[in-house]
Structure 1
Amino acid sequence: MSAQPANTAVQLDRRDRLPEIPLVRAIAIVGVLCVHSTSNATVEMKNSGIYWLYNFINIMAKFGTPTFIFLSSFVLFYNYMNRPIGAGMLKSFYRKRAVGILIPYLVFSILYSIATHFVYYPDQSLGDAMHSFIIKVLTGKAYTHLYFVFINVQFYILFPLTLWLFQKRSNLVKWAVPIGLTVQWGFVILNKYGMQIANKGSWAPSYFSYYMLGAFIGIQYPRIKQWLASRSGQASPIALMAGGALVGAWLATGLAHVWVWYESRLNHAQYNSLLFECLWNAYTITSAVVLLGLAVLIARNGSKPLVRALTRLGTLSFGIYLLHPMLLLAYRHFPLHTGNSLLVHLWYAGGFVLALGGAWLIVGISARWLPFASVFFGQLPKRKKKAAVDNSHVTSYGVPLSR
């Protein structure tokens, strides 16, 4: 498929707000929180009768980070594909990322480094702590979840070149996903059978298929939206079969991924690492497309309170992503010591509730009342002036990871 003609695509970009995007973000951040709030349970609850449930939630929710990467690429290529690349565009692009991404990243890197120093390394000297901090900031390892920002920075560096190639060679667009899969799997195989790459998951090639999938769908999305609008309320047998096959593949690979992890964790089964990699890649790449389709359905047919709540969650998702591990770190510092299994299960559930509800509340209040909240949480939804309120549509605010 060739790229959309420039004048048509620009016109569509100005008209469409894509309310489905914050809905996908909302689902993705819930997935991230599920993984992080069950991570300890997958180690400590192996004697529990419902260990299978902890494992199921922990593995099935692993779509979060790949979906965020997909969305970042999707929105970038959707917005920039038909814009000329010049000094002004590049200056504006990188200034927004520096303000919206790097400053919050540095702030939270400092906060997490201070917190972990006092919790885990209280005897470390100031010189050693500063040296460790600098290395970790430069490699995205100041805390376990900050690698995601490090990966996005790598993609932002690649973005102008990728955009230029797709603009100059529009026929490359149809090869975007195969190119992404080739780069990603070449990197995986090189790491396994060639040179060992430290912290493989902190480097952009580990997620290249999601980046290219986002580019492909983002570039084609104006045409996809037009097609969906023209067939509103209708679905051809081929479209239904394709959708069913996609959902079937998503469920099958997800359940297979859950099973191999369950057997590996609980029964110490041995599998080739490439099996884990293949199932994870197949499950999460289909998840991105399935969740986008689900978000379109919710935006069209969901109740207004549900859409409003998910949209708000999606607009705050970057701040919630940055903050929630701090709440979990504090929560886990006071573990529950009891022989009552029900209370232990409730304690783990409480970690998820705190991570979601607590982080959502703090970031939401900060967005509304705290001056310079963007220093901590990136770009946040702006307060609407009363005179400018328009309830005829829901405005979709982006977050820096995807704009």
Structure 2
Amino acid sequence: MAAQTETKPSNKKYIFEIHFLRAFACLLVVGVHVSATHYGMNDETWNWFTYFLNQYGRFGTTIFAVISGFLLFYQVKRRGFELGRFLQSRFSKIVIPFLIWSVAYRYLLFHYDKQTLGDPGAEITKILTGDSFYHLYFVAIVVQFYIIFPFLQKIFRTQTLLLIFTFVSLIISYQLYGFHPDIDGALGEFLASKSFMPIWIFYFAFGGFMAYFWEEIVAFATKRPWKMLGVILLISAGAVFEYQTKGYVSNRRLTNLVNIPALCIAVVGIYPFLSKLNIVKKTLTVIGQYSMGIYLIHPMILYLFARHLPETYWQAEYVPLMFLAVMVIASVFIRILQFIPLSGFIIPVPKIKNNKRKPAVQPEHKASA
């Protein structure tokens, strides 16, 4: 992918700030599931650290929704929209891996938990609603957004229209909080479930807002890294206060309608500061690049851990080590998988080019769309 100078940000193909945000979201999601697995294996008890990891990490999935919206709208802003290319790209990079991993997790449950397979209709419903395993619902949400995106991008093509879309989406997500339709059967269950995409529409829309106001957001946030760090700490303190006073919270809580936009902008703002630390930058670059693969595979690693690791390792002091082990195993697996032909249909991994042949170009603000 060709690099562009910072004076032409609308033509950039790789924005490392978003990549950094994706790594941040990935770490949060893994934290949720590591702590939840520990909770289930340890007589269902929390300590302060595992409870924090689980509750704070619930920002992660919602941030992924913002990133999904950003990448789609950013591509339209930069290159326009071609329906054929869009369908081919999304089908090969998202839908096929989603189907493959849905089948893999159904087999895992069938093999280990002796779960019987339902009739074909029931199994197809499980897959389409992301009910094959606990984390796949979010991929089903993203696929639903893909269905309406060709219509959205045709309507909301300017900054003003994106502002309107974001505001309307905020109202929709707010109104659908705790939505329980008076409909029986599978349809009613789906509409009331976390897999129902309109509940999440604001976060996709805010991603579009970031895409169309990207230059302004970067100029504002990256010039104030310490203030952005302060925003992150303030949101973090508020999140701790919320779950300490209200108890267990979900990733669809109303406070996220404020927290997630502020957190996304603030994380983007501290990227230039953290990128000066080479080891941090390289680590987060790999995590961001492998984030979808890590998202898809890490519950399987935890599932196998839960069935094969001795009880000794399910103590709170081993949680950080387990977190690290999951990240390393997932990353190594993805790296090895890349040597297999057509592995992109199993786990898509975006390519990163440093463009070393053009020393005058500053790659610091590039990132993949």
Deviation at 1:250, TM superposition (A): 1.5
Instruction: Mark the CA change 1:213 to 1:382 in structure 2 (over 3 Å): closer, same or farther.
Output: closer
Contact 1:320 1:360 (C-alpha < 8 Å) held by counterparts: yes
What is the CA–CA distance in structure 1 between the aligned matches of 2:289 and 2:14, rounded to whole Å?
A: 13
Counterpart AA for 2:103: I
What is the CA–CA distance in structure 1 between the aligned matches of 2:322 and 2:220, rounded to whole Å?
A: 43
Q: Which one has the bigger helix percentage? A: 1
Counterpart AA for 2:62: P
Match of 1:360 in 2: 331
What SS does the corresponding residue of 1:152 show, helix, strand or coil? helix
Task: Select which of 127, 130, 133 maps to 1:137.
Answer: 127
Render the CA deviation track for 1:275-295: whole Å, top value 9, x for unaligned. 982234443443323222233
TM-score (norm 1): 0.77
1:99 aligns with 2:92: yes
What is the CA–CA distance in structure 1 between the aligned matches of 2:61 and 2:251, rounded to whole Å?
A: 20
TM-score (norm 2): 0.83
What is the CA–CA distance in structure 1 between the aligned matches of 2:314 and 2:279, rounded to whole Å?
A: 32
Match of 1:55 in 2: 51
Match of 1:336 in 2: 310
1:314 aligns with 2:272: no
Instruction: Mark the CA change 1:186 to 1:56 in structure 2 (over 3 Å): closer, same or farther.
Output: same
What is the CA–CA distance in structure 2 between the aligned matches of 1:395 and 1:315, rounded to whole Å?
A: 15
Task: Structure 2 unaligned segments of length 5 or more: list them.
Answer: 1-5
What is the CA–CA distance in structure 2 between the aligned matches of 1:34 and 1:47, rounded to whole Å?
A: 17
Contact 1:22 1:311 (C-alpha < 8 Å) held by counterparts: yes
Render the CA deviation track for 1:68-115: whole Å, top value 9, x for unaligned. 110111122222126544xxx111011100011111111111111111
Total equivalences in the alignment: 356
Match of 1:283 in 2: 259
Contact 1:253 1:283 (C-alpha < 8 Å) held by counterparts: no
Counting only pairs closer than 5 Å after superposition, residues 4-403 of structure 1 correspond to structure 2 as: 11-15=8-12, 17-43=14-40, 45=42, 51-81=47-77, 83-85=79-81, 89-121=82-114, 124=116, 128=118, 130-167=120-157, 170-189=159-178, 191-192=179-180, 197-198=189-190, 200-225=193-218, 243=228, 246-247=231-232, 250-260=235-245, 263=247, 277-299=253-275, 302-338=276-312, 344-367=315-338, 369-381=339-351, 390=357, 392=359, 393=363, 398=368, 403=369
Deviation at 1:21, TM superposition (A): 1.6
What SS does the corresponding residue of 1:39 show, helix, strand or coil? helix
Deviation at 1:145, TM superposition (A): 0.9
Deviation at 1:356, TM superposition (A): 0.8
Match of 2:3 in 1: none
What is the CA–CA distance in structure 2 between the aligned matches of 1:282 and 1:313, rounded to whole Å?
A: 26
Deviation at 1:197, TM superposition (A): 4.6
Render the CA deviation track for 1:146-187: whole Å, top value 9, x for unaligned. 1111111111122222222222x6533223432221111222
Deviation at 1:19, TM superposition (A): 1.5
What is the CA–CA distance in structure 1 between the aligned matches of 2:19 and 2:252, rounded to whole Å?
A: 30
Task: Structure 1 unaligned segments of length 5 or more: list them.
Answer: 1-8, 265-272
Contact 1:381 1:397 (C-alpha < 8 Å) held by counterparts: no
* Higher gyration radius (CA): 1
